[in-house]
Every structure is written in structure tokens, then in C-alpha cells.
Amino acid sequence: MTHESTAVGLASAYSNATTASGDWWRDAVIYQVYVRSFADSDGDGIGDLRGVRSRLPHLARLGVDAVWLTPFYVSPQADGGYDVADYRAVDPLFGDLADADELVRAAHGLGLRVIVDVVPNHTSEQHPWFRAALAGEPGARERYLFRRGRGADGSLPPNDWESIFGGPAWTRVADGEWYLHLFAPEQPDLDWTHPEVTAEFDSVLRFWLDLGVDGFRIDVAHGMVKADGLPDIGRGAQATLIGAEPLPFFDQDGVHEIHRSWRRLLDSYEGARIGVAEAWAPSSERLALYVRPDELHQAFNFRFLNCPWDPAAMRTVIDESLSATTAVGAPTTWVLSNHDVVRHVTRYGGGPRGLARARAAAMLMLSLPGSAYLYQGEELGLPEVSDLPPDSRQDPAFRRGRRQRIPVGAPTPGIIAPRDGEPPTRPQAAASTRPEAQTGAGPQARECCGPEADAGTAPEPQLAPQARTSTRPQAGPGTGPAPEAQGQTGPEAEAGIGPQAQACCRPQAGAEPASEAQGQTGPEAGSGTGPEVRVGCGPQAGTGAGAGPDLPTAPEAEGQDGLRDGCRVPIPWAGAEPPYGFGPGGSWLPQPPEWAGLSVAAQTGDPHSTLELYRAALELRRAMPGLGAAGAGPSPDPSGMRWLPSPDGVLLFTRPGFACTLNTRPEPVELPAPGRPVLSSAPVETDGRTVRLPPDSCTWWAF
């Protein structure tokens, strides 16, 4: 069976047919576009909104339902745009407001919905509100979390909280007060108990909803409310606790009232506008609270992303995720990669084996009840780029160093105060002179997270020929260990049979931890047989918050690993040499020479390519009644999914008229054929009664 057996068409026919449906998001496939790395229209080497618009036909042909855009707002770009200086204007780096409007209209014309990032936990230090706070404007500091320090002279941080990026989560200004920043010092946290903060973000959401966007991905949706009194945690390496243990700065009950108010706002607009939480919680049950009927529509399921290549672990995560969300009447989401974590080809071992597992995992994900998120380039089978030169990296955690006091008084216009001896840089916010760039009081900010690791780009495993009964399956992708993952900073506990993927907590250097898997901090995820790979933004060994300014933040007090740039390298579109059609100039991060064979143009029409596998899988997902949503109506019913007995190392489940087999073993496995094979990530051999499943493969069946 091959992809060639399925027609590949535009998404618009399906999407337009369901435009009136209020529950389109329950089984939607949503594609994440990391704007600066998707497509460049003007030759400056950085992706932009016009570039995204020019490549929308690719997404329509791929068969996704919606596009999620990472931040493109006015920003100094200290954290890839997650440090927002103006929430209502487009940074000149990415275009202007007219480009955003045209992109939304073009997407809708192709039947694609558009979701944009909103960053409510923090703003940029260049935001007018924070400038006013440093300048001593009366009441301005009340919008943020300024506190007096501890100790006789106030020279110690107000508490022991650590930044996700490493070091204390506090920076002291010249008059002696400290301000909280759970991420970079350039990203001061807002105080959501202040009514002006609430009103400002309601206004920001309405601005973009009026422009026509279909929803928001809410960055650090679990972080806006802090525990009363800002209590100490009493231990270091706090980023590794995110998503695993209760913390006073994340997943506080008070965030839910904010999300309820936003749900009411979203419901006041026509067209089923949605809210998606990038939230880290200690359990599936806590995460499900974000998607209760009166709160948000979806929440990222990072447990699935972090899961090792192990059938028992996968089944546990799937069952617990479905049970928790079904209890509140919400769909589950599934995701394998995002802008904050090591690409899953590499996490699963790299090379041919990692690619085989990545293809199989994608088919498993797309066969589960609920909604799926794809990260740009995963449909091409892209590996992590682990050998980027240090001077090209832009993840703020990579360059964390000794911090300086910030002087009281408005910063010099157009200049970001240098840290660590780095030269001053021009914030993008200063470049915007259009009226829409002026926002009055205020806006918001952004996040971080990071990957690393390596993955070979050996020839991709073959797709199984349709209903071929006499062809023996290939021995499968190579079984040797993947090349050593680069940039690792410390041992993690290995689990499963492959590289360990430690997820971090939630940050991003241009997008969020999680995401969104954003930065993961939860339990490690091992898989494959390759090297240990740290995933996402979550940090590693910390030493606890230190005392006072000019404190070392690396490596003595580590946060996330600072290597998230490896998953953000601009994707290849066509051509034999970089930038592979990314734009008329170069690319802000260098692309590997071997990516020529992984481009969209190189894979289009090749029935054995990863791109055509994704296209076929998304086509079948719509065509087969048993896929997509678990059931009709507002309450998905995962009881339509049933696990069947299977050999060790194999998962087998059915949904109405459909079966899925996943062989995680490094050798073929024989079992009774559960139906007629319709798509496989590697060649299968069947006589109609029995089937020989290839190693590290997934097959879909109809019956």
C-alpha cells in the first residue's frame, strides 16, 4: 500500500463544508508556523507575514485545518518575539498590519483558520508600561511585580524563585527594588490582580478578533497568577519541577477566572473563535481544568510529546489523557514537536531509525481521538540541527551570563541596555512609526524553551505498497545508535530503549515551552537507541536563587539548556543549495547541506517520502468516519476507541471501521491482520489473514 492509493486534495473543500460547525476544533489538525523560519519575502533572511501568505497553498494541500502563528508583534526580539512591546502592531521585521490582514483573508479563502499567539504573563522591558515603571511614574510599578529585597540593605532577592532561563527570577533596579521575571530579565511579569492589566488584554484580544483571527494560543496560560505572598520554594533546579510538582508561580487556581472571562469574550464573536492553553500542570486532571466547558477550548498535551518510544508508556498517556479531558467534555490534543523542543526525528534516535519512528508516531497521533498539532517541517521529516555555530544562536538561555542592575529612569530611546558585555541593540519597537504601533497603555510578552540533539538524514524508510501480498518487508531502518547529541549539559535518567528526551518547562526563545509543547519540564522521555537528548525548554541542574545583582546564571545556576535554535532552522522549500527557496537572500540560521533532499519540491510526488505520507494520512483522516473526533456532538466519547490484545512491543486499537497497529520493536512482528491495510509508514507483508509488521512502523487498517 502506498500513498499513491489516496488522492491528495486541497483542505478547502472540507474546511469550507465545516465552517458553520461550532466544534471544528475538536478534531482539527493545526499547523504551527514559526514565522521567522517559514518563508522570507524580502531577502533579509528572516521569515515574515508575506512569506507565510505565499506558502499557504502548501498547507492547504497538506490538508490541515488551521494555522497557528508565533508572535509577530513589535518586539526588541530578546526572546524571539515573546517579549512584546506593542500588542496591536506588527514588528517591521515581519511586515505591517496590512500584511496581517491580508494573510488572514488569504487563509480564509483557502479554508484555513488562523490562530495567533498572545503573551499575557509578561511584557517586554521596552513596553511603555515598564518604561514608565522604571521612570518612576506614579502607580506604574503596580502593573508589575516589584518588591523590596530581603536582608538588612535589601540586597537579596525577595524570594528564592528561579528564572526558567537560569539564575534568580528577580532583577534589581538602581533605587533598590526588584522586579519579577520568570523568563528573561527583558520580560518583566505582569501583576494580574491590577484591573488595568485585565482591561488591557481584553482590548488586545478584541483588536485581533475584529481583524478576523479565529483564536489565540495563550502563552504561559498557567503563569499569570502567583501564590499570595510569593512564598519560597526551598529548593533549586525549579524549572525541572514544572509540570511535575505544584509551584507557587505556576498553575495557581486564580488563572481559571481569567480564562473564564476570556471564554466569555471569545463566545461573544461569531464563528467559533477558540482559546488554546499552553499550560503545564502536575497531572492530567489539573490540566483538564483549563478546558472545562466555561474555560478554554484546548490545552497542549505535553505528556504525549514527552512519552518514550515504549508501548506501555504510550498507552498509559493516551488512556489518562482521554479520561481526564472526557471528564470535562473536552477533546484531547496531541503533539510531537514544537519550536521549543528537539525535533522528534532526533528524539527518537536520529538517522534512519529516528525517522522511521517519527513517521510511525505521526500516524499514531493522527489516528487518536481529538485534535493534533503539527510543527512546521515535521511533514518533511526534518531532524534537529545540532551543530549550529555559537555565534549564530539566538536562544536567550544560550547566552545567559552575569546580570547587571537596570538603572532607574526611561531607557535611552532605541537602545536596549546591554548585558554581559554585549553591544547595545536596536529594539524593533523603536522602528515602528505607524499609528497602529502606538498602543497607549499596554500589552504583553513572550517565552522560551529549547532543544538540541542530532539526527542523521539517511534515506527515508519506504511506505508499504497497497495490498501487496508477496513482498517481504524491508529489514527496516538502521538499528545503530544515532550520532552523539550535541550541546548536552548533564546526564538525565535514561528510560525506554532510546534517546532520552527531557522536556523542560515551558519557555521559548521565540515561542513558548511547550509547547507546544513549549518548554517541557516534566518527566523525561526516552526513546530509540540513540544518545540522550534533552528536550524542550526545561532546565536542568540548578543551584537555587542566589543573592543580588551580577549573579552568575550559567553554568552555576542553570535553567533551560539554551539550544532551542536547532528546531528553528528555516525549512527547505526547493533547490539544491541553501537557503532552499526560503527567500531571495540567506537564512538567519544556517541550513544543513543535506536538506536539499528533504525539501518540499524534492519530496512532492515521491510516494515513499515523508511529505506524501503526511498528505495521505490527513486525507484518510477526513475520509474514514472512524478517525478524527471520537463522536458527534459536544462531548467526545473515547469509548469508541478500544484496545485489543497484541504481542509485546505492539499497540493495537480500533475505532469504528478502523484499526491501528504500532510496532515499536526493532524486528518484524507477525499477528492476525485486523483488516485491509490502507496506509503504512513502512512496507507491510500480508496474505489477508496474517500480517508481518515492519520494525518501528505504524499501519492503518479498514474493516
Residues forming a β-bridge with 333 = 371
Residues forming a β-bridge with 275 = 216
All cell numbers assigned to 428: 524593533
> How is 488-510 classified by DSSP, letter by letter?
--S-----TTS-EEE---S--SS
CA distance 262 to 578: 43
C-alpha closest to that of 210 among 262, 252, 273: 273
Sign of CA dihedral 143, 149, 150, 154: negative
Helix (H, G, I), strand (E, B) or coil at 231: coil
C-alpha closest to that of 239 among 38, 468, 490: 490
CA distance 80 to 77: 5
CA distance 664 to 58: 31
Question: Is 210 one of the annotated active-site residues of the chain?
Answer: no
SS (H, E, C) 549-583: CCCCCCCCCCCECCCHHHHCCCCCCCCCCCCCCCC
C-alpha closest to that of 537 among 561, 556, 516, 555: 561
Looking up cell 539554551 gives 562
Q: Which residues have a Cβ under 8 Å from the Cβ of 227 and sit 6 or more positions away?
A: 248, 249, 252
Q: Per the residue annotation, which of 200, 278, 447, 561 is the catalytic one?
A: 278
CA distance 294 to 285: 16
Radius of gyration of the chain (CA): 24
CA distance 365 to 629: 13
N- to C-terminal Cα distance for the chain? 15
CA distance 129 to 540: 33
C-alpha closest to that of 264 among 293, 237, 235, 287: 293
Residue 662 burial (CB count, 10 A): 26
C-alpha distances in Å from residue 509, one per residue of 518, 519, 569: 10, 10, 13
Q: In 313-354, where do the E strands start and end?
A: 333-335
Question: Is 270 one of the annotated active-site residues of the chain?
Answer: no
Q: Per the residue annotation, which of 162, 177, 219, 561 is the catalytic one?
A: 219
All cell numbers assigned to 493: 535518567
CA distance 699 to 678: 8
Residues forming a β-bridge with 400 = none
Task: Give yes or no for a contact between 443 and 200, defined as CB atoms under 8 angstroms apart.
Answer: yes
Residues forming a β-bridge with 654 = 642, 659
CA distance 279 to 247: 13
Looking up cell 483564536 gives 215
CA distance 546 to 530: 36
CA distance 375 to 338: 5
Chain-centroid distance of CA 9 in Å reads 27
Residues labelled as active-site residues? 219, 278
